[in-house]
Amino acid sequence: MVAHRQNITVDPIVYEEFCKYAKMKGMKISTWVAMKMKEAVAEEKELKKEN
């Protein structure tokens, strides 16, 4: 799989706080964003199936 690079704008305070917690878990921002995007897609597909 080829990764798609995308710039995002994030509140600096939220970013710093996220980095603090992500570092404790050894998680990268890109991994977390990809995971949340997959969750959002799955939720939308489920909503579409219900309608």
pLDDT tens-digit series, residues 11-35: 999 999 999 999 999 999 888 999 9
Does residue 10 have a pLDDT over 80? yes
- pTM for the full model? 0.73
Task: Report yes or no: 13 and 2 within 8 Å, Cβ to Cβ.
Answer: no
Residue type, 13: I
Residue 42's pLDDT is 97
- Strand ranges for the chain from DSSP E: none
Task: Report yes or no: 43 and 32 within 8 Å, Cβ to Cβ.
Answer: no
